[in-house]
Amino acid sequence: MEHTNILDYKRLELKKVYSINEDITALLEKTVQGSEGGMRWTVHNISEKAGAYGDSLYFLALYKKSSLMGVVGVCRRKTLNCGREYDSTYLRYLAIQSAFQTAGAPGGRGQRLTNVEEGFKHNLLSMFRGPGHNPEHDHSQPESPHVMYAYIESKNERSKNLIHQAGYEYIRSFLTVAFSRFSPRSDRSVALLAPESQPEMSRLLAGQYADYCFYTDEFSFYRNRYYVKRKGNEIIAGVCAIPAEYRVVNVPGVWGWMIMKVLPATPFFRRLFNPGKFRYLVLGAIYCRKGYEDHLPDLFEAVCAEEGYHTALTWLDDHSELYETLRTNRRMGMLNRMLNAKPGLVYASFSGMTESEKEKFYDKPAYISGFDFS
């Protein structure tokens, strides 16, 4: 079965679509992401990355007169939160704003349609507040602890307003960290992790992120592209390399004009950033043994050399030790020094939890899954 009808409200329909299809792919790839006045971009290879979630991802697709108007990806996963595992739901591929835009004179047909859509939106948003609001939820069973969360740009007022209406609370903030090299060099101490060594690496990662919330190892070893740097036989650093590609539409400000219009005309800078086809690696599941933090740029450079890239990006809680380690490192490259990214925000909705259980989500750093940005 490809889809199930969930809601039918006047001219609007909500369907649960069990895997990404051509209509959803086309809508998401043409959707310009980002916020007005901020960086704007479109994402390529969405179908491939969405398919990697497998059965854990489905879509809520909004139709108006049988035309797809918006979609939300709903990803079910387990997350570790300061050592305790919770059933969790991560909202991805949020592109539903246009479904609630109507035109018309006040009191006329357009205004009546707006009221219909507002009623439908209320029903839709209630589904994002927790499993108990889902029509498919078994209400005869006691509600178990569950957290639903999403990443929102700090300047994206539309998405913030929408997520607020769904009852989500602001939890943490995070920032983009860039790495770049004009001519990355290999390192003989860096190599791909053998698949049989992944359980050991999983334990090292779980130990490093034991004091974090939202930790998941779901894509730590995506396509077996996890690289480690060793000292002798011991792993001192590691990272998963995930290829990604954007088309950058706009970067605001004077620096943005330079980055978009001037610098790409120079051969060397074009290696780092080409707005029409911005190829980069996502650095996911970063590991670093205590005392070896200065080896991370060497690891990143070797990974870029092996994978054939000049730029890499990662997203980190801006109050985490790992963020401070990389922010203050002077060997992260030119692009990181030029980057002036606005913070991203983590919003969450809790169900079946006590207040003391919720507090740790506010107090502890959030693990930001690199794959969720690829």
H helices present in 227-266, as ranges: 253-257
319 and 260 in one domain?
A: yes
**E strand intervals along the chain:** 3-9, 12-17, 33-34, 40-43, 57-64, 67-81, 84-95, 146-153, 169-180, 190-192, 226-231, 234-250, 278-288, 311-317, 344-351
pLDDT above 80 for 9: no
Q: What mean pLDDT is predicted for residues 253-268?
A: 77
Could you give the CA distance from residue 75 to residue 21 in angstroms, rounded to a whole number?
Answer: 16
Q: Is residue 268 part of a domain?
A: yes
Number of domains present in the structure of the chain: 2
What's the confidence (pLDDT) of residue 284?
97
The CA distance from 37 to 78, in Å, is: 35
326 in the same domain as 187:
yes
Q: Are residues 150 and 54 in the same domain?
A: yes
CA distance 29 to 130: 28
Q: One-letter amino acid identity for 218?
A: E
> Are 223 and 131 members of one domain?
no
In a domain, 153, yes or no: yes
Together in a domain, 112 and 215: no
- Asked if residue 354 is part of any domain, the answer here is no
Is residue 102 very low, low, confident or very high in pLDDT (cuts 50, 70, 90)? very low
pLDDT at 107: 47
Read off φ and ψ for residue 132, nearest 5 degrees.
Answer: -65, -20
On whether residue 356 sits in a domain, the answer given is: no
Does residue 231 share a domain with residue 129?
no
Burial 290-309 (b: 16+ CB within 10 A, else e): eebbebbbbbbbbbbbbeeb
Tell me, rounded to whole angstroms, the distance of Cα 29 from its chain centroid.
16
CATH number for the domain that contains residue 135? 3.40.630.30
- At 258, is the pLDDT very low, low, confident or very high (cuts 50, 70, 90)? confident
Domain-located, residue 355: no
Cα–Cα distance between 250 and 53 in angstroms, integer? 29
Judge if pTM exceeds 0.95: no
Residue 330: count of CB within 10 angstroms of its CB:
8
Q: What is the pLDDT of residues 119-141, one digit of tens each?
A: 666 666 777 776 644 545 444 45
- For residues 321-330, average pLDDT: 93
* Amino acid making up residue 251: V
- pLDDT tens figures, 208-251: 999 999 999 999 999 999 999 999 999 999 999 999 998 888 77
Is 108 within the bounds of a domain? yes
Question: Are 235 and 289 in contact, with CB atoms under 8 Å apart?
Answer: yes
Q: How confident is the model at residue 142 (pLDDT cuts 50, 70, 90)?
A: low
The residue with tokens 């959030």 is: 366
Mark whether 155 and 186 lie in a shared domain: no
Q: Is residue 16 part of a domain?
A: yes
Does pLDDT of 40 surpass 90?
Answer: no
Closest CA to 150 of 164, 131, 140: 164
Residues 50 and 167 in one domain: yes
Question: Which pLDDT tens digit goes with each residue over 168-209?
Answer: 999 999 999 999 999 999 999 999 999 999 999 999 999 999
What pLDDT is recorded for position 31?
A: 82
C-alpha pair distances (Å), 246 with each of 18, 34, 46, 275, 279: 26, 12, 10, 8, 7
Residue of higher predicted confidence among 325 and 249: 325
Structural domain including 128 reads 3-175+361-373
Among 103-117, 228-242, 322-336, top mean pLDDT goes to: 228-242
Question: Do 117 and 182 belong together in one domain?
Answer: no
Same domain, 21 and 139: yes
Q: How far apart are CA 281 and CA 258, in angstroms?
A: 23
Residue 143 has pLDDT above 90, yes or no: no
Measure the CA–CA gap between 292 and 201, rounded to whole angstroms. Answer: 16
88 located within any domain: yes
Q: In this structure, are 184 and 331 located in the same domain? A: yes
Average pLDDT for the chain: 86
Of 271, 333, 339, the closest CA to residue 300 belongs to 333
Task: State whether 197 and 337 are in the same domain.
Answer: yes
